[in-house]
Chain A
Amino acid sequence: DIIPFFHRMYLQLTLVLSISLGIIQAVDRSNFKTCEQSAFCSRQRALRPGQSSYRALLDTLELSDSRLTLQLLNNNNKVRLLLELYRLQGNITRVKINELKPIKPRYEVPDVLITDPPTEPMSVVAQDERGVVLSLGGVDRRLYVNAQPFRLDIMEGPKLVLSINSRGLLAFEQLRMRKDTNDQKDTEEAGKKEDTEKIEDKASEGEEQEMEVDQPGMWEETFKSHVDSKPNGPSSISLDFSLPGVEHVYGIPEHADSLRLKNTDGGDPYRLYNLDVFQYELFNPMALYGAVPVLLSHNTHRTTGLFWLNAAETWVDISSGQVGLCGRTDGSGEVPQTDVRWISESGIIDVFIMLGPRPADVFSQYASLTGTQAFPPLSSLAYHQSRWNYNDQEDVAAVDRGFDEHDIPYDFIWLDIEHTDGKRYFTWDKNNFPQPKDMLQGLMDKRRKMVTIVDPHIKVDSSYKIHSEIRSRGYYVKNKDGGDYEGWCWPGNAGYPDFTNPEMRTWWASMFAYDQYEGSMENLYTWNDMNEPSVFNGPEVTMLKDALHGPWEHRDVHNLYGLYVQMATAEGQIRRSGGLERPFVLSRSFFAGSQRYGAVWTGDNSAEWGHLKMSIPMCLSLGLVGISFCGADVGGFFKTPGTELLVRWYQAGAYQPFFRAHAHLDTPRREPWLFGPDNTALIREAVRQRYALLPYWYLQFYQAHRTGQPVMRPLWVEYPEDVTTFTIDDGYLIGRDLLVHPVTDEGSRGVTVYLPGNGEVWYDVHTFQRHDGALHLHIPVTMSTIPVFQRGGSIICRKNRIRRSSSCMENDPFTLYVALDPQGNAEGELYVDDGHTFKHETDRQFIHRRLRFTSNTLSSSDLSPDSQFPTASWVEKVVILGAQEPKAVTLTSSGGGESSVEFEFDPVTLVLTLRKPDVNAGVDWTLQLQ
């Protein structure tokens, strides 16, 4: 029994968060800051658009081969900034602004960029007293540096692509000495009086250096009894970007909001500050568990991206409207424009402008900076069964048995915090999990796997090895006075390892070795939760900003903490296998670059229809900024889903990248077979559809890993000129070829699906019915309907023999679904490897083939002749959609000669089925239709 403990835990949590018992329906907003309550945001936002106080000092211009530097002078306080401009490979411009001479270094985010981005030569095209024009390559890409006021314009031919500081919101709070050095705080009265005097001084001094005015919250800030000591004083930065011709902007996850970002005028900006938000609310800009400071803008002819590389608390204001353009463009009338303003609490301005122009280009550009999605083990793309908590080994065995009894496949079963000995991670509860290896072996016998939770808060208990080692090695985050920082979390009093320290990460990784993590085996993987970090008694349920990570304040590194936890954990899994096996680590918190380390999920959602709907834009937004391996708790974490909602969530989740059912401790059990045979059958069917499509999912992840293209894509990514697609976030694409529009309304009798593509056709994957593109299609639905369409012109490989787990399907044959376009062509790919090692990379052990149907011939050719992988899989069936009846079908395979293939043709549905071509999946072959 765990009730009394959790009662206690929750009571503590409740007291800490000041939430009321029993009637909590949604987030308690008062626990989290508004921009107004965040001193730097409020200070920065008080600055209104206008003429910039900065001017570029052109005489300081220095241009090396790849780097231009220039000083910027603040006319008001005479503080100088250093501007650095780089032209990076792949049509990216990097703009860095730091203080020219800061009194101490300002934080620059490490470990996010995969390398020092390679540059390309830049040249001055023109220069006069008004500014400089630089060539950014191409025929006519130019960067204009306007001297006074300071402003940057990126032009392509006569077209202005983007302006920086055109609204004059560059604001850089330079580091300064505290003026009241006697450390006695002035009374507010005195402070005010002083301020007034200074303002008068300024007026009289005219061009003289302005005395800095201390504003409240600059040197200390209090939020709900939590004091932030701010020993470094104010340090915030801000910059604005104008995007002419842009009405649609996306990205900057994580927010529970629509895919298209909203105007923030008159409300709070979108906030990026990793927080553990209890029962989060939908449709608002509040910060959630992760932060990726990347914003995409899109219109019919261009997609661009802004990557604001800063890990401190950040707010993003978005303002769209119509403006009259003047200056360098033709100036004809009103055009739409979106203005974006970034505000961060500390660090420097370091922004990457990714100039596209196509969506795919922006994804490649961003991938060239932060890397691509980790290629996950195939099994991690299958179904995951989780709950807080599976209580003991017998419970795990019973759930495992339940799946077999009901013939529902699954690959992973998950253990939440209760599996540990008193929330001491890397340990097992002695009563409930006395023989973890027996349990893991039992799963291994069924070719299944397990995940245990390992959180980054470490119980302060001298008899706990992990704690005493971290303490003795000095690896804990320190409080401002130098002692080990401690906060409350699941185990009670806990320390937080300093994951920003590479030594600490190496040590942490070593704890996953089989001889360190007792009871672990190779089919045990990891889940990092609470890594925002969550601190129950901390400000906004996280760490004090003046806590120290080596020389840096938590303020500087906050949004990076979760990334580092997942990084170190993934590294541990790789190392325990001697570098052979791919890791699988799920993380709740993330930052730019987290895609390199595993999967993320949308945190503690609720069993509500709105949350089911929201899972789509949330994962789409993450996909746009590189994080493809995303999912939401199927069924909803908090509260209890009705049966219809649960079934619909399984159907939706089966078509999202990370497919895991999870539930809160206080909710009744909801294993798939607990809702009557009809619902069991519906859930079984949804899960089976997932398993059949695993070859396609795996191929998508291989592509994402190689190219950085998202797996789950908004329609506009593939149809960038179709404005209808720009706001769609209830339907989406998996890769290019599958369009999914899950049913997310209670009692739904039909859905309206937008099928894009003028002149294209789409095939219902269940009925094979053909529909024209560029149309809204109303389709009636029943409880068994999952609206999914295959693009005409594509070939998708499935494995239709659904077994207990994905590993059991390893050698099974493929069925090829060839969906012809109106011209009678189709194309697709097949990727096969061992599913779990790095040998695809290290030894080039994989099969990557092109499948093409053209001129009545279907052929398989090698896309990677220098790689090889022996597979037992073969082609058992080919289903051609939109076909004509052939007279005969002949198979030619390399080394196999010619043979005739039986077929069946349905003249009503135009489906041609080729029976058992029986050719190995790894060889060249052609199927000729006569």
Chain B
Amino acid sequence: MHCPILIAVVIWSSCVDSQKIRGISLSYKRFYRERKSFLCIDGSKLIPFDQVNDDYCDCADGSDEPGTAACPDGRFYCTNLGYRPHYIPSSRVNDAICDCCDASDEYNSHTACQNTCRNLGQRERAEVKSQMRALDQGLRLKQQLIEEGVLTWRDKQAQLRDLQRVLDDLQTQLDDLRKEDARRKKEVDALRELEIGALETEENSHRSHIMNESPVSIFYELDSNRDGRLSAKEVRAKLTDIQDGERVLSEDEAVIRGRVPGRLVKGEPVLKAAVSAAEKAAAELKKVEDAYETVYMEIRDLREKLATDYGPEREFLFLYNQCFQLKVHEYFYELCPFNQVTQTSASGAEVSLGKWGSWAGSPQHRYSQMKYENGEPCWQGPTRNTVVTLTCGTETALRSVKEPGKCQYVAEFQTPVACRPALRQQGVHSEL
């Protein structure tokens, strides 16, 4: 009913001045001194003072109606004694929804709003207190983690230097071995030339020649390391042909059997020896090449990891090589920072939700978000990606994973290193 409102307004305004300035903060009070007229704050219009808060919008900037819903983009000041004051859009005044905890926005609706400011204030103070404690603890932990990070960083640098030395060593060996290998190969080639010539003439008598071969030459054939003794290893290596089934010769057996002339012996002993030496050199080369490759990759990986941005104080370095899991209903999520995010369903199917991309926070807080990109592609859509928001806490853990849009995941990752001293001023909660 409109009439009762009018009556109420009349009664109020005749008693107290404050009615006129409903909805303004202290700092704005100076604009609303009771005079004959009111100048809109933007200076656009001069109106009689009794048109302030008379539920009709006169000023383009809405300044004449701070306490009513009359102006389109006005704002109403909730004093909220006992809690924090704040502005609400004036369209929320008298809409039957309690917005200000002091109930001041619903002065003319049928909604009975309770003043909850004291409770809210207490609760908030308690919450802030505990959050401050958590923040302090978080910052201490962060310091430790930074120090750990420094050590890890040094370790890694040392490791890198060591690896580099090993690599250099291997390089030298490689150079030698390559020469040796080339020399051996050449020798074999030369001998083989000769052998071919000889074989062509002896072709028909070859078999009996082998049968008549002296034990000495057989010995040389078997003694592949030329130490004048036959080891079981040497015999096994040559005797694979005559091994029965999967049975492996015992050492004794090998030695005895080795003495028995066998059909394995072929060719001229000098050539045999040369071939064997060349093979050995090649194997040795291969071994060192493999080692070189391994170390090289290790160095590359390490360099790559060390090149990652771990924050201004390398505070995120400790996350290196760690993974964090979380189960959400039937899904199992795993975040491996600076590496990848995956999702595993109850059936065991693993899906990549993105590989490490970059820090993605706002320019002021670059390290507040991580982006993981190029996960498994979606049907008719882009590839999956995950944005991980880092929040301050005393533990390091994956707190939530969600999929607000198809194949676009958001995760909350809590860790002390996300704690910033600045949060102390902000009261931790940004929305408060």
Chain A 418-448 residues near chain B, CB threshold 8 A: 431, 445-447
Contact indicator A3/B92 (Cβ below 8 Å): no
Minimum CB–CB distance for B335 against chain A, Å: 15
- What CA separation (Å) do A4 and B2 show in the bound complex? 58
Choose, from B122-130, B184-192, B214-222, B375-383, the stretch at the interface: B375-383
Contact indicator A666/B56 (Cβ below 8 Å): no
Given contacts A668-B405, A802-B91, A872-B2, contact A6 B379 (CB under 8 A): yes
- What CA separation (Å) do A358 and B54 show in the bound complex? 49
The residue that B2 contacts in the complex, of A446, A804, A874, with Cβ under 8 A, is: A874
Tell me, yes or no, whether A772 is within 8 Å of chain B by CB. Answer: no
Contact indicator B380/A920 (Cβ below 8 Å): no
Chain A 855-904 residues near chain B, CB threshold 8 A: 870, 872, 874, 876-877
Tell me, yes or no, whether A10 is within 8 Å of chain B by CB. Answer: yes
Q: Which residues of B contact A872 (CB under 8 A)?
A: 1-2
Tell me, yes or no, whether A106 is within 8 Å of chain B by CB. Answer: no
Which residue among A7, A24, A803, A809 has the maximum number of chain B CB atoms within 10 Å of its CB?
A803
The residue that A10 contacts in the complex, of B6, B56, B345, B379, with Cβ under 8 A, is: B379
Tell me, yes or no, whether A21 is within 8 Å of chain B by CB. Answer: yes
Tell me, yes or no, whether B343 is within 8 Å of chain A by CB. Answer: yes
Tell me, yes or no, whether A801 is within 8 Å of chain B by CB. Answer: yes
Tell me, yes or no, whether B166 is within 8 Å of chain A by CB. Answer: no
Given contacts A3-B378, A804-B95, A808-B96, contact A391 B404 (CB under 8 A): yes
Contact indicator B407/A3 (Cβ below 8 Å): yes
Minimum CB–CB distance for B20 against chain A, Å: 17
Minimum CB–CB distance for A607 against chain B, Å: 13
Q: Provide the A321-356 mask, 1 if CB < 8 A to any CB of B, else 0.
A: 000000000000000000000000000000000000
Q: Provide the B339-361 mask, 1 if CB < 8 A to any CB of A, else 0.
A: 00001010001010000000000
- What CA separation (Å) do A7 and B91 show in the bound complex? 45
Contact indicator A804/B91 (Cβ below 8 Å): yes
Q: Provide the A1-12 mask, 1 if CB < 8 A to any CB of B, else 0.
A: 111101100100
Tell me, yes or no, whether A68 is within 8 Å of chain B by CB. Answer: no
Q: Which residues of B contact A6 (CB under 8 A)?
A: 379
Given contacts A24-B380, A803-B95, A876-B56, contact A920 B403 (CB under 8 A): no
Interface residues on B, range: 20 to 34
Minimum CB–CB distance for B180 against chain A, Å: 56
Contact indicator B69/A665 (Cβ below 8 Å): no
Contact indicator B404/A666 (Cβ below 8 Å): no
Contact indicator A920/B379 (Cβ below 8 Å): no
Tell me, yes or no, whether A407 is within 8 Å of chain B by CB. Answer: yes
Q: Which residues of A contact B1 (CB under 8 A)?
A: 870, 872
Chain B 379-432 residues near chain A, CB threshold 8 A: 379-381, 402-408
Contact indicator B404/A669 (Cβ below 8 Å): yes
- What CA separation (Å) do A445 and B92 show in the bound complex? 13
- What CA separation (Å) do A889 and B337 show in the bound complex? 73
Tell me, yes or no, whether A65 is within 8 Å of chain B by CB. Answer: no
Contact indicator A920/B351 (Cβ below 8 Å): no
- What CA separation (Å) do A438 and B164 show in the bound complex? 63
Q: Which residues of A contact B3 (CB under 8 A)?
A: 920
Given contacts A1-B331, A1-B343, A801-B69, contact A666 B380 (CB under 8 A): yes
Q: Which residues of A contact B69 (CB under 8 A)?
A: 801, 803, 812
Contact indicator A445/B97 (Cβ below 8 Å): yes
Contact indicator B405/A669 (Cβ below 8 Å): yes
Tell me, yes or no, whether B89 is within 8 Å of chain A by CB. Answer: yes
How many residue-residue contacts, CB under 8 A, span A and B? Answer: 88
- What CA separation (Å) do A24 and B3 show in the bound complex? 63
Minimum CB–CB distance for A580 against chain B, Å: 20
Q: Which residues of B contact A808 (CB under 8 A)?
A: 91, 95-97
Residues of chain A at interface, number, CB under 8 A: 39
Tell me, yes or no, whether B311 is within 8 Å of chain A by CB. Answer: no
Tell me, yes or no, whether B103 is within 8 Å of chain A by CB. Answer: no
Contact indicator A915/B92 (Cβ below 8 Å): no
Minimum CB–CB distance for B401 against chain A, Å: 9
Given contacts A3-B378, A6-B379, contact A395 B404 (CB under 8 A): yes
For B401, give the chain A residue with the smallest CB separation.
A1
- What CA separation (Å) do A7 and B55 show in the bound complex? 56
Contact indicator A669/B408 (Cβ below 8 Å): yes
Minimum CB–CB distance for B28 against chain A, Å: 21
The residue that A803 contacts in the complex, of B91, B345, B407, B408, with Cβ under 8 A, is: B91
Contact indicator A667/B2 (Cβ below 8 Å): no
- What CA separation (Å) do A802 and B91 show in the bound complex? 7
Contact indicator A21/B56 (Cβ below 8 Å): no
Which residue among A1, A445, A915 has the maximum number of chain B CB atoms within 10 Å of its CB?
A1
Chain A 3-43 residues near chain B, CB threshold 8 A: 3-4, 6-7, 10, 21-22, 24
- What CA separation (Å) do A669 and B381 show in the bound complex? 13
Minimum CB–CB distance for B66 against chain A, Å: 15
Given contacts A1-B403, A666-B406, A669-B408, contact A801 B2 (CB under 8 A): no
Shortest beta-carbon contacts, A-B, top 5: A808-B95, A669-B405, A431-B329, A916-B56, A803-B91
22 contacts between A and B (CB under 8 A): A1-B343, A3-B351, A3-B378, A3-B407, A10-B379, A24-B380, A391-B403, A391-B404, A446-B97, A447-B95, A666-B378, A666-B406, A667-B381, A800-B72, A801-B72, A802-B72, A803-B91, A803-B92, A808-B96, A812-B69, A870-B1, A920-B3
Query: Which A residues contact B (CB, under 8 angstroms)?
Result: 1-4, 6-7, 10, 21-22, 24, 391, 395, 407, 431, 445-447, 665-669, 800-804, 808-809, 812, 870, 872, 874, 876-877, 915-916, 918, 920
